[in-house]
Chain A
Amino acid sequence: MIATAYSVPSIVIFVTAALLILVGAIGVISLRHPVHAALSLIMTLFGVAVAFVAQSADFLAAVQIIVYAGAIVVLFLFVIMFLGVDRREGISVEPLVGQRAFAALGVLVTVAGLIALMARSHWVSGVMSVSSAGQPISTGQGNVKELGTAVFTTYLFAFEATAALLIIAVVGAVLLARRERTTQPEEVSS
């Protein structure tokens, strides 16, 4: 039934990606140890990369692995080790009464609303995009060229703005995490 409508490899890839994503995500929110949660996050990010490849977004899958798993999670692990907060967090106690019940209710309503929105909408309009000049994006063999053209022509201003954003982020991170050695003795003496 399903196997006749859709090809078996695509179903296998989807199930693999879904398992990686959901098991990793549940691990992130349920594991007590921050290091374990970070490793679980890598699993989710890898699953998302698999889903990207399955939808012919090869470049984004590579960026996903390099930037997320290679840089962001390493930054998380670095901060965990640096601060020495790799101790367990007690998640069996509930600090606010009814917080989890309300959170679960809100999340259920949100997810049900999203799924209902998808089920009732017809997204595919049949109109080709304007940004790719009416050309459908190539599938199956990667579309790095189209992505590069879009980023460097249509989204050139946003691309340049991200450069400024990254500089600001680096300066801000250095400023925030800096240890103020010069002002420390003055405060003690005065």
Chain B
Amino acid sequence: MNVPAAWYLVLAALLFGVGAFGLLTRRSALIMFMCLELMLNAVNLTFVTFSRTLSDISGQAIVFFVMVVAAAEVTVGLGIVVAVFRRRSSTSVDELSEMKG
């Protein structure tokens, strides 16, 4: 018998937590994008686990779409990082403070 779904769900929750902590504390925009990928992967793992548990293929189909959106998001995000780096020679989000009131 396979391990229960709850184990994978707890693992996904922990992965989401680690990713969220990294997103909140790291300053480099590149590392923040990586933490975003961690959180997306945690959600994907949850979807696949529920797909197996509920015996429904829709979960896997949605994971497929999440992967496409993640790829698009990373492409545009890294484009923005490159554009910002051209202007201020840094990827630290602390230095992007023009909008500060």
> Do A and B originate from a single complex?
yes
> Once the chains bind, are B15 and A176 in contact (CB under 8 Å)?
no
Q: Which of B7-41 contact A (CB under 8 A)?
A: 7-11, 13-22, 24-28, 30-31, 33-35, 37-38, 41
Interface residues of A (CB under 8 A from B): 5-7, 10-11, 14, 17-18, 21-22, 25-26, 28-29, 34, 37-38, 41, 44-45, 48, 51-52, 54-57, 59-60, 63-64, 67-68, 71-72, 75-76, 79-80, 82-83, 85, 89, 91, 95, 99-100, 103-104, 106-108, 110-111, 114-115, 118-119, 123-125, 128-129, 131-132, 136-137, 139, 143, 146-147, 149-151, 154-155, 158-159, 162, 165-166, 168-170, 172-177, 179
User: What is the total number of residues of chain B having a CB less than 8 Å from a CB of chain A?
Assistant: 73
Task: Name the A residues within 8 Å of B80 (CB-CB).
Answer: 176
> Once the chains bind, are A55 and B49 in contact (CB under 8 Å)?
yes
Task: Name the A residues within 8 Å of B86 (CB-CB).
Answer: 179
> Once the chains bind, are A25 and B15 in contact (CB under 8 Å)?
yes
Number of A-B contacts (CB under 8 A): 250
Minimal beta-carbon separation of A32 from chain B (angstroms): 9
> Once the chains bind, are A104 and B21 in contact (CB under 8 Å)?
yes
C-alpha spacing A52/B59, complex, angstroms: 12
Task: Name the B residues within 8 Å of A68 (CB-CB).
Answer: 37, 41, 67, 70
Q: Please list 24 pairs of residues, one from A and one from B, whose beta carbons are closer than 8 Å in the complex, sorted by A's number.
A: A6-B3, A7-B1, A21-B15, A22-B14, A22-B18, A28-B22, A29-B35, A37-B31, A51-B8, A55-B8, A60-B44, A68-B41, A68-B70, A76-B78, A79-B30, A89-B92, A99-B25, A111-B13, A124-B53, A131-B56, A131-B58, A154-B58, A168-B72, A174-B79
Task: Name the B residues within 8 Å of A143 (CB-CB).
Answer: 57, 60
Give the 3 A-B residue pairs with the shortest CB-CB distance, closest first. A29-B22, A176-B79, A129-B56
Known contacts A48-B45, A118-B10; is-contact A72 B37 (Cβ 8 Å): yes
